[in-house]
Structure 1
């Protein structure tokens, strides 16, 4: 359970940094507390997307991983961020990613910040 909470907080922090840096990734809300709650809910959706969909996409695109020496990971991360944005819209969460190239930059930022936070934050494993 602790591992799940740590990963969710790391995802929320990484998504928050992406919202802060990239102007076309938006998180709207009335107050700071509402934005924080929205960010945590979006992080849960993002974690669920990465847990359910990303492994399937990786298996289906395995030849592209080999062909591009792993650079297709940027595209896969962008697609996961776009899917999260779409699901957030369906769930009435105020999180939006505008366009594919914004998602590529946002996915890169989320990956780097999430990795750094996982190094710093405690983990049971």
Structure 2
């Protein structure tokens, strides 16, 4: 559980960095003004993004196996952008605050690249060890 929360925090950092770098990817905080409330929104969106990546993404990846072969794996970036867009759709329709992604191309693709780079750096910092999984 601790590893999931730490990864979610790093995913939130990746989402926040993506909103700073990529035009078209923004957080909608609504009427929230407190820094802590905004941090809570970022963490909740990161947890939702992690759940979507854990549940929907494997199904999409299995269905897209022929596209992985044809595109030599570049479809993975588009699938990541799709997961980002699904997260945006979920937060738009369920919560009054959340993530805003204008479109899958190019905002979603560039945002997915930024989040993937932060995720890669997270994987370098946090090695999957047995003791991390059960604490």
User: What TM-score, normalized to structure 1?
Assistant: 0.92
In the alignment, which residue of structure 2 is the partner of 1:8? 8
Shift of 1:118: 2.6
Shift of 1:61: 0.4
Max radius of gyration: which structure? 2
In the alignment, which residue of structure 1 is the partner of 2:123? 118
Q: Aligned runs of 1:1-125 on 2, under 5 Å?
A: 1-29=1-29, 30-92=33-95, 93-100=97-104, 101-121=106-126, 124=132
- CA RMSD, 1 decimal: 1.4
Structure 1 residue runs of 4+, over 6 Å off? none
Structure 1: which 5+ runs fail to align?
none
Structure 2: which 5+ runs fail to align?
none
Bigger mean CA offset, 25-34 vs 57-66:
25-34
User: What TM-score, normalized to structure 2?
Assistant: 0.86
**Paired positions, count:** 125
